[in-house]
Structure 1
């Protein structure tokens, strides 16, 4: 008998019996060492987590083995440990808090049968907790289009934007310790993170030139990015993807700030590798020259598109429905603006005859103010930033049905007001009518707009010291009424 093998066999048997008592391992029968060669013995393997909890290190305990095949149980390709006594580490890609996997280890030894053991493990992803929140975005609600944002600080909470994507697909949305939602992306050292606009069944995109309304485009894009360098990345690459042409607009080597939110603002015409035309996806990855550590995690918040404050009316012909005409919020009221309609003026926005009706904004009895006021009452609101202390003209057309009905006291009315300032809550705008810079109450009720019906109104007013004014439209009527072709321009 080979004495060395005999001694090893005795030690293994003793060790395995002790292991069974202490760690509940399954006993293995004594080896047949009469041939003078050591047989493979595979007692167990250790699986230990590290890093953010998703890195698992497997170390087999065995004798007489040439190598091991390790299957980590998540569908990835098995990994080989090329020698006895070795180990292998694997970083599970899951970003969920906890996921269960089954690890399988198989021994390989020349001339001997494979031995396989399995172990169930729970992989826990524990990213960095962010105690702070990015600075609240600035800019009027009407000048911001939100791709991802909880909105601005308002009245002790966060007020979301009216103009925003209807949906998007991304890796993970988490709640920060500060109480707001942020995007979380890990493993940017090897992987990329992608936001896809819309959903798989209903893709969405943003055409930059028409981001806010037809012909009213965005000029800049903003990101708030947080990274702790010891567990994240120090440089970022952002790619905006045009799904229509497969063009990519790239900005690389962006410096981040260790442990703090970095506010990143970029001109869409000049900052990227080419002027941005359309966005269907946004991709984040490690920037050129950057370093990725541990789980390489970043958090992203407040992805927004912006335009310059408007000095002229946007969507004054209502071709884009109520876009740019909705109050941000309305205490005890509606933010819908008005009823959708295709019974607008027969005159185009440039003053030329259309030959038929256009879009227009409609109000009915149920959406009127005054004695009909309710939670369904609708007001159209649009802020402007004009030259201070300057004379202007508010111009619009209106029409009111002449159907027989019981009229309110004062008759049927279409009301246009120039408010002194900007307002977030529609209720505050209602209260500000008493100090308006100008207004008109239209009472001509001759029926729907037609080639011969429609009243043109011009209201002179002088802007205030800040230049911040708002146009405020509503109706008080028992029957349907309309407004169209709303304009503001300098007085001649």
Structure 2
């Protein structure tokens, strides 16, 4: 059995063409036939492939033959070729790999037909696309990456093929969707209501899908599978755009066959009324969920250290927001006295900003997407050590503020501290939380109104020669 692989386009006509030069060769006159015929000889035939692997060329090796009949073994009408010629046939691309028997029969006047057969395996190579959609443009912590250039919490499963463009962009390819199901299995379960953090979730899911109808599908079916509850959430007959990336955004509460509370597998199939052609391939990119609008601070009790407060970029500065500490408030996030210290955020003198700002200064930062024009209050507790030390001008302090916007670079945010919706400078220095009344430090509440975009950010920093702390940061809505 011959194994046909992807090759280079073949010339259909074979034979030998020779040229002669009058100075080197003497032409020979044709000799008249003495009658009779040459006995047909059929030694073998050659098989080669080209293109995507399914274009097969058959070249018989014979003597004394007028023509050939070539049956390519897939039920199609046999092809006829003259002596010295080849025949080329393009097999179906529906199967990734298929076995066929090619049969060649010679035809010559007055001669008995001669037949030879050969078993072959045709393997089809699906050509990958060479373009990608734009990457999502969302602020830090506002995007849950299921599969994007920014990273992934899943991996391609059955039916998925990884495609990496020259630019380094990663795509997923699903083929043979006439019968196959493209499966993308996440590494963990996504709970919509807690997708980002406990109590902070997402209402939507996004996909970018590419299909060329001549070789793909025109309508798509997406299923989010919740194996824990044996539930499948279906979105069927999604219309795609021929030869372009189609951007798809779905509401998890209303667009699927039932509200989506959680899932861990995504299935891609041919839509119920759709048409699949050729190798029926789609390419998928940018599967993600966005953080819902809300005032919930992530990791406001600092039990998870620096999570959700850390800068991704800080030009000529420190991306770490503070030093984690076990000297937090005696109250937990719900305001209950635990009788002992909890975790908190800490700044030392070398990490101070303001008048003491250096390249080692640390600034805690977290973005919120609020209801535009709505009223809120930023609340937190702070404590500052009262040990002796040389205070900066104005005294040691903890500063909390609400920035009127969001920033990619920490240096830009610090340079625009004055552009805020509210702030507080806390000067009470009575020692660590444990040294204060009830171990709760000083409570601060800063009322503010969200800007027109609703995109704001919370920032904290310290200006002190001694350690300072914050804990239990919250933003509450004041609107009924």
Is the structural similarity TM-score above 0.5? yes
Report the equivalent of 2:183. 194
Residues 214, 320 of structure 1: 8 Å contact kept: no
Asked whether 1:175 is paired with 2:175, we answer: no
In structure 1, the gaps of 5 or more residues are 1-17, 23-37, 71-78, 95-100, 151-159, 198-202
Report the equivalent of 1:383. 368
Which of 44, 47, 64 aligns to 1:45? It is 47
Asked whether 1:482 is paired with 2:469, we answer: yes
1:347 partner SS = coil
Asked whether 1:252 is paired with 2:241, we answer: no
Residues 399, 448 of structure 1: 8 Å contact kept: yes
Q: Which has the higher helix share?
A: 1
Q: Alpha-carbon deviation of 1:213?
A: 0.8
With normalisation by structure 1, the TM-score equals 0.68
Which of 441, 463, 486 aligns to 2:425? It is 441
Which of 325, 328, 331 aligns to 1:347? It is 331
Q: Alpha-carbon deviation of 1:479?
A: 5.0
Asked whether 1:211 is paired with 2:195, we answer: yes
Report the equivalent of 2:275. 291
Report the equivalent of 1:127. 128
| 1:84-483 pair list within 5 angstroms | 89=91, 91=93, 125-130=126-131, 133-134=133-134, 137=136, 140-150=139-149, 165-166=152-153, 168-169=155-156, 171-175=161-165, 181-197=170-186, 203-245=187-229, 247-327=231-311, 329-365=313-349, 367-370=351-354, 371=356, 373-374=358-359, 377-386=362-371, 388=373, 390=375, 392-401=376-385, 412-443=396-427, 444-449=429-434, 452-463=438-449, 466=452, 467-478=454-465, 480-483=467-470
Query: 1:202-225 deviations in whole A, cap 9, x for unaligned?
Result: x33322221111111111111122
2:416 partner SS = helix
With normalisation by structure 2, the TM-score equals 0.70
1:205 partner SS = strand
Residues 59, 88 of structure 1: 8 Å contact kept: no
Query: 1:185-237 deviations in whole A, cap 9, x for unaligned?
Result: 3333333323333xxxxx33322221111111111111122222223211011
Q: How large is the RMSD of aligned CA atoms in angstroms?
A: 4.7
Q: Alpha-carbon deviation of 1:351?
A: 1.8
Q: Alpha-carbon deviation of 1:484?
A: 1.4
Q: Alpha-carbon deviation of 1:273?
A: 2.8
Q: Alpha-carbon deviation of 1:21?
A: 7.4
2:196 partner SS = coil
Q: Alpha-carbon deviation of 1:353?
A: 1.6
Q: Alpha-carbon deviation of 1:90?
A: 6.2
CA distance in 2, matches of 1:423, 1:122: 52
1:471 partner SS = strand
Query: 1:329-371 deviations in whole A, cap 9, x for unaligned?
Result: 4333444444444543221222222233333333445544343
Residues 94, 279 of structure 2: 8 Å contact kept: no
Query: 1:51-104 deviations in whole A, cap 9, x for unaligned?
Result: xx24344758489xxx9999xxxxxxxx9999999978364988xxxxxx9x99
Query: 1:245-287 deviations in whole A, cap 9, x for unaligned?
Result: 5543221211112233322121212322333233323222211
Q: Alpha-carbon deviation of 1:315?
A: 3.7
Q: 1:82 to 1:410 in 2, by over 3 A?
A: same
CA distance in 2, matches of 1:237, 1:336: 44
CA distance in 2, matches of 1:490, 1:277: 25
Aligned residue-pair number = 419
1:146 partner SS = strand
Q: Alpha-carbon deviation of 1:148?
A: 2.6
Q: 1:274 to 1:448 in 2, by over 3 A?
A: same
Residues 252, 287 of structure 1: 8 Å contact kept: yes
CA distance in 1, matches of 2:14, 2:244: 49
Deviates more, 1:466-475 or 1:241-250: 241-250
Q: 1:40 to 1:278 in 2, by over 3 A?
A: farther
Residues 223, 300 of structure 1: 8 Å contact kept: yes
Residues 399, 445 of structure 1: 8 Å contact kept: yes
Residues 56, 90 of structure 1: 8 Å contact kept: no
Deviates more, 1:328-337 or 1:419-428: 328-337
Residues 176, 182 of structure 1: 8 Å contact kept: no
Q: Which has the higher strand share?
A: 2
CA distance in 2, matches of 1:104, 1:21: 30
CA distance in 2, matches of 1:168, 1:369: 42
Residues 385, 468 of structure 1: 8 Å contact kept: yes
